[in-house]
């Protein structure tokens, strides 16, 4: 993602284009399938917050999809209007994903674009970790994507058990890793936007981030790295760094950072401190910046993205 694209997507002009597109596409449409729904949601997450009228208009098209409607309506309220709204919005998003791709009906995912699915996983996983522990483990591109739409950053007061969300993500990634390679090939080819090779790399990276964030689910990553149906597609150096870096039931931050250097998409750790983020980018030891969530800080991050990409 280059600087010009990020600047455009962070602009009101781009938000206006998305609003116009949603109005045009949804006019007279009352039976949305899950591929359409995820397309619209990814577009919404990819720009600034839209006008509440757009969310209201969209929600009226979702009478038979209650989890989706509840989540879209929560976007009208934002995440910082009252105590607990952040957690409420997060849980509604999680339930929306569970409803869209229930583990008992994993084949439903074939109706959804693989790139949209990965986008939503990349949205849910950092959000879970931030609320739970005040820390995000992500790639630089995922972190930049997350900050485009994010208005505020909070950590929950007190202990909140979000292990169920990590468990869902682990099982979801495991199910995708178990699918026959022909199924994955057909799925990615039918929807376009991402190759099977890149999809499988992305789910392995997601498994790494899940392990680091949850301090659990190492068995998922180990299963992926031992699955010939996946390793056949993995870049050899990427696979070797991860495989050689495994210890007993753990893989460390530096190992994951080293593996991600194969793609030029560095590893990022973001730590929440007093409603601002300290971001360390582990491409190099010196490659570290600080980010506070004020109007100018995003552009500091963007400048860093361009200089170090």
Mean pLDDT of 284-297: 47
Band of the pLDDT at 293, cuts 50, 70, 90? very low
Domain identity same for 294 and 220? yes
Is 105 a member of any domain? no
> In this structure, how many other beta carbons lie within 10 angstroms of the beta carbon of residue 301?
20
Give the 3-state secondary structure percentages of the chain, helix then strand then coil, rounded to 5.
Answer: 65, 10, 30
Give Cα 5 distance to the centre of its chain: 18
Is 1 a member of any domain? yes
Domain identity same for 150 and 262? yes
Strand partners, 212: none
Band of the pLDDT at 16, cuts 50, 70, 90? very high
- Look at residues 100, 126, 158 and tell me which one is the last residue of a structural domain: 100
Domain identity same for 37 and 119? no
Among 28-32, 34-38, 97-101, name the one with the lowest average pLDDT. Answer: 28-32
The parent domain of residue 25 ranges over: 1-100
pTM: 0.90
Is 221 a member of any domain? yes
- Look at residues 100, 135, 151 and tell me which one is the last residue of a structural domain: 100
The domain tally of the chain equals 2
How does the average pLDDT of the chain come out, rounded?
Answer: 85
Band of the pLDDT at 153, cuts 50, 70, 90? low
pLDDT, tens digit (0-9, with 9 covering 90-100), for 95-145: 999 999 988 887 778 889 999 999 999 999 999 988 888 888 999 889 888
Domain identity same for 280 and 196? yes
Q: What is the pLDDT of residue 54?
A: 95
**How far is 94 from 168, CA to CA, in rounded Å?**
9
Mean pLDDT of 45-52: 93
Q: What is the pLDDT of residue 106?
A: 79
Domain identity same for 245 and 161? yes
Mean pLDDT of 36-42: 94
Is 108 a member of any domain? no
Domain identity same for 159 and 246? yes
Residue with more model confidence, 100 or 150: 100
Mode of pairing for the β-strands spanning 135-139 and 276-281:
unpaired
CB of 209 within 8 A of CB of 216?
no
Is 233 a member of any domain? yes
Is 106 a member of any domain? no
Domain identity same for 45 and 168? no
Is residue 253 predicted with pLDDT exceeding 80? yes
Domain identity same for 130 and 218? yes
Residues belonging to the chain? 309
Four-point Cα dihedral 157, 146, 114, 239, nearest 10: -90
Domain identity same for 40 and 130? no
Domain identity same for 207 and 88? no
Q: List the beta strands (DSSP E) in the chain.
A: 135-139, 267-273, 276-281, 288-291
Mean pLDDT of 11-34: 91
Is 7 a member of any domain? yes
Q: What is the pLDDT of residue 96?
A: 95
Mean pLDDT of 166-177: 94
Give Cα 204 distance to the centre of its chain: 14
Tell me, what DSSP letter sits at residue 264?
T
- pLDDT above 70 as % of the chain: 84
Domain identity same for 192 and 257? yes
Domain identity same for 125 and 21? no
- Look at residues 50, 67, 100 and tell me which one is the last residue of a structural domain: 100
CB of 278 within 8 A of CB of 270?
yes
Is 153 a member of any domain? yes
């Amino acid at each position: 993602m280059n600087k010009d694209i990020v600047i455009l997507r962070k602009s009101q002009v781009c938000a206006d284009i998305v609003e116009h597109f949603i109005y045009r596409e949804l006019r007279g449409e009352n039976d949305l399938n899950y591929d359409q729904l995820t397309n619209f949601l990814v577009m919404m997450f990819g720009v600034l917050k839209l006008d509440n009228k757009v969310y209201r208009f969209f929600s009226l098209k979702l009478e038979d999809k209650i989890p989706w409607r509840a989540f879209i309506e929560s976007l009208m309220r934002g995440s910082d209007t009252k105590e607990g709204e952040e957690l409420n919005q997060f849980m509604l998003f999680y339930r929306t994903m569970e409803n869209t791709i229930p583990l008992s009906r994993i084949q439903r995912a074939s109706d959804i674009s693989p790139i949209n699915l990965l986008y939503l996983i990349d949205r849910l996983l950092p959000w879970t970790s931030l609320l739970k522990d005040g820390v995000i483990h992500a790639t630089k591109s995922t972190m930049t994507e997350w900050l485009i739409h994010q208005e505020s950053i909070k950590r929950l007061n007190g202990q909140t058990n979000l292990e169920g969300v990590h468990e869902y993500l682990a099982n979801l990634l495991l199910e995708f890793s178990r699918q026959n390679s022909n199924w994955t090939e057909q799925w990615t080819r039918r929807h376009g936007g991402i190759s099977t090779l890149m999809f499988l790399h992305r789910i392995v990276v997601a498994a790494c981030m899940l392990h680091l964030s949850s301090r659990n689910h190492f068995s998922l990553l180990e299963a992926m790295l031992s699955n010939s149906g996946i390793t056949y597609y993995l870049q050899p150096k990427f696979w070797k760094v991860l495989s050689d870096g495994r210890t007993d039931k753990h893989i460390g931050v530096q190992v994951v950072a080293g593996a991600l250097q194969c793609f030029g998409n560095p590893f990022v750790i973001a730590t929440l401190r007093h409603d601002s983020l300290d971001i360390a980018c582990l491409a190099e030891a010196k490659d570290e910046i600080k980010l506070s969530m004020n109007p100018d800080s995003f552009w500091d991050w963007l400048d860093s993205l361009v200089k170090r990409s």
